[in-house]
Amino acid sequence: MVFGGVAPEHYEGAFHYINLTHATYWAIELQALKLGNFLEITYTPHAIVDSGTSLLVGPTREVEALAAMMGAISIQGLYAVDCSVPIPPLTFRLGDRDWQLERSDLIVEEEQGVCILGLQSIDTVMPMWILGNIFMRKYYTVFDYGAKRLGFALASQAGTSSNLV
């Protein structure tokens, strides 16, 4: 974690900044969510980026639809899929840009041919997606409080890459 700057050795390319819609929870507009070639499959207009959340968390209705399209089943609040089943990329459209998570980004555990997905459902008063460490492992994230925005760049190393500016 770097305060007041970034660690250039941990990301590639330039940052793409997205203005916050709600500064309290680091919320940004979620323009679309798609799995593979399926077009918009979300009715949730907000996503928050949260380093205190390990997984990708979304409204139950949407998470269940995604899980079904992936061939996953719910086991004690988590979703499991046969590891031999291909999983198409999951793409979040944020700030007029696609941020794609591949199968390898979505799998958090593999045991005896069963893969656990980094996907969980929750219903809140204000429906939202929470982009936790699953997202931030792939996309180096800058929390720019002064400018009320989030910045994303492709992470160059595994592990959570977040900064407060």
CA angle, 60 as apex, 58 and 68 as ends, to 5°? 100
Count of beta carbons in the 10 Å neighbourhood of residue 9:
8
More confident position, 5 or 10 = 10
pLDDT digits (tens, 9 = 90+) for 116-147: 999 999 988 888 999 999 999 999 999 999 99
Q: Give the model's pLDDT for residue 48.
A: 96
Alpha-carbon distance of 102 to 106, in angstroms, equals 6
CA–CA separation, 91 and 68 (whole Å) = 16
Task: Tell me how far apart the alpha carbons of residues 161 and 139 are, in angstroms, rounded to a whole number.
Answer: 7
The pLDDT of residue 163: 54
Give the chain's largest Cα–Cα span.
47
Q: What is the pLDDT of residue 157?
A: 65
Q: Which pTM value belongs to this model? A: 0.89
The rounded percent of the chain whose pLDDT value lies above 90 is 75
- Residue 158's pLDDT band (cuts 50, 70, 90): very low
Could you report the per-residue pLDDT of 94-105, keeping only the tens digit for each?
999 999 999 999
Domains defined along the chain, listed by start: 2-164 (2.40.70.10)
Q: Is the pLDDT of residue 1 over 80?
A: no
Residue 51 near residue 74 (C-beta atoms within 8 A): no
Q: Where does the chain show beta strands of DSSP type E?
A: 2-3, 11-19, 27-35, 46-49, 56-58, 73-75, 78-82, 90-94, 97-101, 107-111, 114-117, 119-121, 129-131, 139-144, 149-155, 162-164
What's the whole-number mean pLDDT along residues 15-31? 93
Q: Per-residue pLDDT averaged across 159-164, rounded?
A: 49
